[in-house]
Amino acid sequence: MMQKAKNNSYASEYLAQIVKIIQENEEFLRHNANEVYDEVVELINDAIDEVMLVTEKPGREKEYIERSMSFFIYHVFMPFSYAIYFDLLAGNVPACFMELRFMLESLMKCYLADLKHPEEAFFQTRLELLEQDMKQMKLSISRAMEELGEELGVANSFVALWGKLSQDWIHMKGFTDKLVSYVTEKSDMPPWALAIPMNYTEKDLGILEELRDRISQFRSLLKTTMEKYRQEYGPGTG
């Protein structure tokens, strides 16, 4: 992989190597893990669909300023769904889980901010007031996830997904456990724990299946959330 770049020629060679690995990983995914590839592509399609609903709606300029969910769709869901796609191709699986966790937490906060503070005319104020509410009530992220699950009628689905993403990939212990488990089971070092980008091998199929499952769970929760939100506020996001 890349050493200290001494000149532009070396940097160009490294860039070409990055492109080569990404292309090879795309081919690997299509032939060996097409389900996770499809889930990530469908996640992007979900984001595009949501943005189109927002942009086609009358009053979208006003809602862009007011609604936290508009902020989520434009500035979290859309860019981070593409980021997951890019990181998947680069072999950066941990980043995919981290980005998915950020989207889940953002979805929760944006929904609750609009639900609890509809009188505010600026989405940032709604989000700030939600943070204040959580501090005053000593409401943890996990408890807020439970509250959203209760609101949407999906029981503990939000907090269960958030917990898995947090414990397995965000906290140091979870990440360490994943690495040690991989080395123990595969007698090899996971490519995502060495350098990025790196080529996938068949030893990575288990982690890719886990990513597929987590994205599928997120997409299901997103669908439920957006359907309920539109019932409350009408077509589009608000």
Arithmetic mean of pLDDT, 200-207: 94
- With a CB cutoff of 8 Å and minimum separation 6, the contacts of 150 are none
Q: What is the pLDDT of residues 163-202, one digit of tens each?
A: 999 988 887 788 888 889 888 988 888 888 888 899 999 9
pLDDT for the residue 170: 81
Output 51 or 12, whichever has higher pLDDT: 51
Q: What is the pLDDT of residues 120-168, one digit of tens each?
A: 999 999 999 999 999 999 999 999 999 999 999 999 999 999 999 998 8
SS3 assignment for 157-210: HHHHHHHHHHHHHHCHHHHHHHHHHHHHHHCCCCHHHCCCCCCCCHHHHHHHHH
Arithmetic mean of pLDDT, 107-113: 97
Torsion angle of C-alpha atoms 89, 94, 96, 98, degrees rounded to 10: -160
pLDDT for the residue 173: 83
Could you identify the residue written with the tokens 């020629």?
9
Domain chopping of the chain, boundaries: 11-124+196-233
Q: What is the pLDDT of residues 216-227, one digit of tens each?
A: 999 999 999 999
pTM of the predicted structure, to 2 decimals = 0.90
Distance CA 232, CA 238 (A): 8
